[in-house]
Amino acid sequence: MATLKKSWLTNFLVWRAKHISQKHFIYILSILVGFTSGVGAVILKNLTHFFQHLLEGNLVRHYHNAFYFVFPLIGFALVYLIIKYVLRNKVSHGIPSTLFAISKRKGVMKKYQMLGSILTAPITIGFGGSVGLEGPTVATGAAISSNISRVLHMNQSTRNLLIGCAAAGAMSSIFKAPIAAIIFAIEVFSLDLTIASMIPLLLASISAIITSYFFFGNDILLPFKIIDGFKISDVPYFIILGLFAGLTSIYFTEVYDRIQKLFDRIKSPIKRLLIGGIGIGILIYLIPPLYGEGFDVINNLILGQPEKALETNIFHLDLSNAWVVIALLIGLIFFKIIASALTFGAGGVGGIFAPTLFMGSIMGNCIAKIINQIGIFPQQISESNFTLVGMAGLMAGVLHAPLTAIFLIAEVTGGYELFIPLMITATISYAITKYVHPHSVYNMELGRKGELITHDKDHAILTLMDIEKVVETNFIPIYPEMNLGDIVHRAVVKSNRNIFPVIDEKDGSLLGVILLDDIRPIMFDQSMYQEVIASDIMQTPPEIIAWEKDKMTDIMDKFQASGAWNLPVVKDGKYSGFISKSKLLTSYRRKLINFTR
């Protein structure tokens, strides 16, 4: 059977090479990837809504709110069992895991990742996890596209492009915003905006949105039409909104990062599950709007009906009082990211795109309500517009994706009347957050490690290079007690290199290096053969490359600073070989050709 399958695939690839050009084949694959991303979005959304309706719609509504407390624990336990006994592999957060695959795994994603998010994300969110489906949808589509690329023997640059197509397809299908989806793929996944990449992205986005219309009809996640137009007198208010969006984005990023680090210190997955599950259970019991993605809350705010979003508060406060509503909404802003971070910490699977929209919409609505209630300003402002623009402000800050934020809100509102306020708020929020946090929540960990692909092409290519591919080991080692005669006869004569590592014979540690230039003046004087030993003439290398610590960008900087042609490499405290500047530059040129092909 395996032979038959291999023969069939081989015959297809031969036929394809003869009849379909590489460019047209990529177009076909991009349509297929867009379709699979759309189907993935449909499956994830329907499964999640099934669980949520079954639990929240029946048990909570007909029995007791106390179920809110136990749902997350049950959900996290099910996810843990699926990961341990069914998938038998860790399911990482959607978009960060995809970025890692691009930057460090040459666009290769393991097969289990095609099902990982589908099996775990709906349970996480359906049982109350306070995260979103966008990340898992992107991860599912990306894993499928990566494995299709592997089966069809696509090169690394094509794999990365098709992963970007999967991301565009996922976002296009979810939000029915095809242009914003393309910008999202370019902005978040650092794809080059060329004709070669633009057409596949367009095809994937179109394919996905048609798939979405086929299954969901005209249903839109954020249905809204602009009623209150933009006036130039609103500019100062949107500047204020941008400032608060930046501050809220910093709060979001700080809380998320710190809670994740706290959970990282807990080695036992059962302890993480219990701590996170109990924490999120308490929060959802006290604040039911934190349950799941929260798009119902967002839509109620957009429609000017905040009391619907807050009617389940356990304090039974008077929602006719505007300041009570404002206080409750501020509470949602404060606790949403805590709930999301606890969900991730407990082992839940989801994304942070929806929590970002949730917090942004509430923040914008709060700012508008406060301005209107204070009454010292000359005009009333549109709360619905501020709700929408607030979402863009937080997306620009938290995700470091200002263009995606602008075009997404512009597309879902069916026009560009809010384009100027979107640009003002998104730009201010992005600038403030970028100053404090150079990397977004998506790529924070990769950015700290220097493993992140960026739009800086030189940095991107260096990130894609592997140190093991450029380390050379054909250098003859010298030991510190070797005399000059032994060095000449056992090393110099037998080597075509002009540098020799001096290593400790016992533990293999690097003690220094000897250059041919160091011994050339005395190597022909045989009277010195017994008098001079290696430790007398060795020197400290100008730089040492640490295998585990140094990134390719650091290695290039060390060559630049030292002016050396060869630098020794140390791994686990032991000598491992040398990297030569010529080998490094040759590898760089090859990677550049593949990257831009």
pLDDT (0 to 100) of residue 120: 92
The answer to whether 510 and 529 are in contact (CB under 8 A) is no
pLDDT (0 to 100) of residue 315: 66
H or E element at residue 8? helix 2-19
Beta bridge partners of 197: none
Higher pLDDT, 45 or 505: 45
Tokens at residue 499, please? 């540098």
pLDDT bracket for residue 65 (50, 70, 90): low
516 CB-near residues (< 8 Å, 6+ apart): 492, 498, 499
Percent of the chain with pLDDT strictly greater than 90? 26
How far is Cα 463 from Cα 453, in angstroms, rounded to an integer? 7
Q: Is 453 left (phi over 0), alpha (psi -120 to 50) or beta?
A: beta
480 CB-near residues (< 8 Å, 6+ apart): 502, 504, 505, 511, 533, 534, 535, 538
pLDDT (0 to 100) of residue 201: 92
How far is Cα 233 from Cα 189, in angstroms, rounded to an integer? 37
Report the range of poorest mean pLDDT among 292-301, 391-400, 583-592.
Answer: 583-592
Vertex 231: Cα angle to 226 and 235 (nearest 5): 110
Q: What is the pTM of this model?
A: 0.76
Tokens at residue 463, please? 């990130």
pLDDT (0 to 100) of residue 455: 45
How far is Cα 452 from Cα 100, in angstroms, rounded to an integer? 7
pLDDT (0 to 100) of residue 463: 59
Higher pLDDT, 30 or 6: 30
pLDDT bracket for residue 248 (50, 70, 90): very high
Structural domains of the chain sorted by starting position, each given as residue range(s) with its CATH number in brackets: 19-216 (1.10.3080.10), 232-452 (1.10.3080.10), 460-596 (3.10.580.10)
pLDDT (0 to 100) of residue 428: 96
Higher pLDDT, 454 or 157: 157
Residue 574, helix vs strand vs coil: strand
- The DSSP line for 181-242 is HHHHHHHHH----SHHHHHHHHHHHHHHHHHHHHHHTT--SS-----S---GGGHHHHHHHH
pLDDT (0 to 100) of residue 363: 94
Tell me the angle at which helices 235-264 and 322-345 cross, rounded to the nearest 10 degrees. Answer: 30
Mean pLDDT of 68-73: 84
Q: What is the pLDDT of residues 18-29, one digit of tens each?
A: 788 888 889 999
Q: Is the pLDDT of residue 30 over 90?
A: yes
Instruction: Provide the terminal-to-terminal Cα distance of the chain, rounded to the nearest Å.
Output: 36
Q: Is the pLDDT of residue 458 over 60?
A: no
How far is Cα 230 from Cα 419, in angstroms, rounded to an integer? 9
pLDDT (0 to 100) of residue 28: 92
Beta bridge partners of 575: 570
pLDDT (0 to 100) of residue 450: 47
Mean pLDDT of 162-188: 89
Average pLDDT, the chain: 83
Among 208-222, 469-483, 541-555, top mean pLDDT goes to 469-483
Tokens at residue 551, please? 């990134």
Higher pLDDT, 530 or 196: 530
The answer to whether 117 and 139 are in contact (CB under 8 A) is yes
Vertex 586: Cα angle to 580 and 590 (nearest 5): 145
Q: In what order do the strands lie in the sheet with 471-472?
A: 471-472, 574-580, 566-571, 545-546
Q: What is the pLDDT of residues 129-149, one digit of tens each?
A: 889 888 899 989 989 998 888
How far is Cα 425 from Cα 245, in angstroms, rounded to an integer? 8
Q: What is the pLDDT of residues 514-547, one digit of tens each?
A: 888 878 888 777 878 888 888 888 888 888 888 8
- The DSSP line for 533-564 is BHHHH-B--S--EETTT--HHHHHHHHHHH--
Tell me the angle at which helices 581-596 and 552-562 cross, rounded to the nearest 10 degrees. Answer: 140
Q: Is the pLDDT of residue 449 over 50?
A: no
How far is Cα 243 from Cα 436, in angstroms, rounded to an integer? 13
Q: Is the pLDDT of residue 378 over 50?
A: yes
pLDDT bracket for residue 451 (50, 70, 90): very low
Residue 225 CB neighbours (<10 A)? 8
Vertex 32: Cα angle to 31 and 33 (nearest 5): 90
Q: Is the pLDDT of residue 252 over 90?
A: yes
Pairing status of strand 574-580 against strand 545-546: unpaired
- As a three-state string, the secondary structure of 421-484 is HHHHHHHHHHHHHHHHCCCCCCCHHHHHHCCCCCCCHHHHHHHHCCHHHCEECCCCCECCCCEH
Dihedral pair phi/psi, residue 92, rounded to 5°: -80, 165
- Closest by CA to 254, choosing from 262, 265, 264, is 262
Q: What is the pLDDT of residues 84-138, one digit of tens each?
A: 899 888 877 678 777 777 776 777 888 888 888 899 999 999 888 889 888 899 9
Mean pLDDT of 223-252: 87
Mean pLDDT of 157-181: 89
Q: Is the pLDDT of residue 209 over 70?
A: yes
Residue with tokens 């969110």: 125
How far is Cα 291 from Cα 287, in angstroms, rounded to an integer? 8
Q: Is the pLDDT of residue 564 over 90?
A: no
How far is Cα 250 from Cα 429, in angstroms, rounded to an integer? 9
Report the range of poorest mean pLDDT among 287-296, 382-391, 393-402, 550-559.
Answer: 550-559
pLDDT bracket for residue 313 (50, 70, 90): low
pLDDT (0 to 100) of residue 456: 46
Give the length of the chain: 597
pLDDT bracket for residue 63 (50, 70, 90): low
